[in-house]
Each structure stands twice: as C-alpha cells, then as structure tokens.
Amino acid sequence: MLLDFDDDGPGPVVILLHGFPLNRSMWKAQMAKIGSLYRVIAPDLRGHGHTAAPDGVYSIDAMADDVLDLLNALQLKEPVVIGGLSMGGYIALSLVARHPERVRALILMDTRAGADSTEAALGREEMAKQVETTRSTASVVQAMLPKLFSETTRNFHSDRIVPVRHMMEKTPARAVAGALRGMAARPDRTGDLARIQVPTLVLVGADDTITPPAEARAMAQAIPGAQFEIIPNAGHLAPLENPAASNAAILRFLSSLP
Ligand code: MLT
C-alpha cells in the first residue's frame, strides 16, 4: 500500500520507521540533524499519520512490504540503512530477515526480537476489541502514555510529551486495532539475529521499561559485531526524549559504515 513520507537531505539513504501508534513526526529532531548529512526518508506506516488506514490485521511482514514498495517506488534499488523504533524495529527485523539484499545497515531502537508472550498477545486482543467497541483510542493512550517516558522527560521536558499524545490521539481506532493484532501475531525473530550480516546499532533508553536495556543488550550480543548504546535520561522513545545523545550515537554509527 502507498505510504505517505518525508524525504529530505543529501547523501546516503537512511529510512526511519516509527513506533506504535505514532507517526513520522516523531523523527523531527532526526530529520533536522541527521538530515543535514544523509537523505532521511521517514514514512507514515499503514494506518498512521497521513497514510490510509485499511481494515484488518496489520501484520509486521505486510508493513515491511509497504516499506519495500516505497523503496521500489523511489527507485532505491541499492541497499539502504533501515532504522526502526519498537514496532518500527519489528518491521526492520522482518525486512532484514526476508530481504537482506535491500539492507545496508540496521539501527534497532527501543525494540526487541522476541514475539509476544501468550499473555501479552491476549492483552493486545482485549485492547483491540475495546478500541473497536468504543471507536476510541483513549484507552490505549491512557495505558501507554505513562509508560513511555523517563522520569527526566516527565519532569523537565513535558514539551516532548504533548506531541506524542497528539500523535497517539490522531491514529484511527481501526489502525490501532490492526497494528495491535499484527504485533500480537508477529513471529519470534531471535533465531534470525545470528544471521544478520550487516552493521547494526542497537540503541535503547536507559529508563526504557517496555523494551529494557538488558533485553536490548542481549539482542545486540546475538547480532554479529553489533554496536550497543544506552541513551541516558530516556525511556522507550529515546530519539525523541534525548535527541542530542541519540543523534550523536546514530551519526557515529553512520559515519563508521564502509
Ligand atoms: C511501540 O512503541 O511501537 C510499541 O511499544 C510496540 C509494542 O507495543 O510492542
């Protein structure tokens, strides 16, 4: 399906895939800083931002295929850097597992390779049903928002929280339900990690409680040669909560690529 996207900057291509249920505007600080040196392309994934919201389950592989369609539409046949945060990271892992020839390097941010536990998947189904019944995403916003941010962000950067709330509130109920069901059904990609052959950066907020640093470190250790960075004063949305440290880590990694 056709994705809406931002596309700005010179140089090698870096694709940034946002988290759930956000949109490409979460990459504002990266578009500004990384986009001064690289061509940053940030799509709105299906159902999010300005991209249409079809009915049904948004499987992670289908969302990855949307990204592939975008690369093809932009005539980007050479491998590109793929970065993804949380759900965007699940999509990045799907891309590198199924289409390794399209990936030059990976940036996995606040994400995990494992599948949902049965309990987590059931919780997502319950949430999807609630969103559909009430035709409102208020319950998801209420459940997720307090868990996303570090104490530093909550105490000193509420200006960074407000746009996230708006992004979440703007995502249609249909899309929230579709993505919840897609994430619940995603495969365990832990076994794929040892087969990743591209340079990889794993980045995680020091205070991320959704995909905690210990899990991110284990993921980095399972990927041959992967670099690992902990971003201080950041929770689950590290690039948005601490853009200076996140951008510095990402630029260090990008400039190290062959
Ligand atoms: C995200 O930030 O994309 C979500 O936390 C992913 C998830 O719910 O697994």
Interval 99-130: pLDDT, tens:
999 999 999 999 999 999 999 999 999 999 99
pTM confidence score = 0.98
Query: Does ipTM come in above 0.90?
Result: yes
Distance 64 CA to ligand 1 centre (A): 15
Q: Are 41 and 71 within 8 A, CB to CB?
A: no
Segment 40-54, tens digit of pLDDT: 999 999 999 999 999
**Which atom number of ligand 1 is nearest to the Cα of residue 236?**
2
**Which atom number of ligand 1 is nearest to the Cα of residue 183?**
9
Distance 88 CA to ligand 1 centre (A): 8
pLDDT of residue 124: 97
In total, how many domains does the chain have? 1
pLDDT of residue 168: 97
Within 6 A (CB) of ligand 1 lie 19-20, 86-87, 183, 210, 236
Distance 258 CA to ligand 1 centre (A): 31
Range of the domain at 89: 5-255
Q: Are 19 and 88 within 8 A, CB to CB?
A: yes
Residue nearest to atom 9 of ligand 1 (CA): 87
Q: Helix crossing, 138-148 with 158-170: angle to 10°?
A: 150
Average pLDDT over residues 132-137: 94
Average pLDDT over residues 198-215: 98
Pocket test for ligand 1, best of 122, 131, 210 (most atoms within 8 A of CB): 210
Pocket test for ligand 1, best of 23, 24, 59, 86 (most atoms within 8 A of CB): 86
User: How far is it, in rounded angstroms, from Cα 159 to Cα 32?
Assistant: 18
Pocket test for ligand 1, best of 16, 18, 20 (most atoms within 8 A of CB): 20
Task: Indicate which CATH number applies to the domain containing 236.
Answer: 3.40.50.1820
Distance 20 CA to ligand 1 centre (A): 5
Within 8 A by CB and 6+ apart from 255, the residues are none
pLDDT of residue 22: 98
**Which atom number of ligand 1 is nearest to the Cα of residue 89?**
3
User: How far is it, in rounded angstroms, from Cα 113 to Cα 187?
Assistant: 9
Residue nearest to atom 7 of ligand 1 (CA): 87
pLDDT of residue 105: 98
The pLDDT mean for the chain works out to 98
**Which atom number of ligand 1 is nearest to the Cα of residue 87?**
3
Distance 6 CA to ligand 1 centre (A): 22
Confidence band, pLDDT 50/70/90 cuts, at residue 156: very high
42 closest CA partner among 72, 7, 82: 7
User: How far is it, in rounded angstroms, from Cα 26 to Cα 16?
Assistant: 10
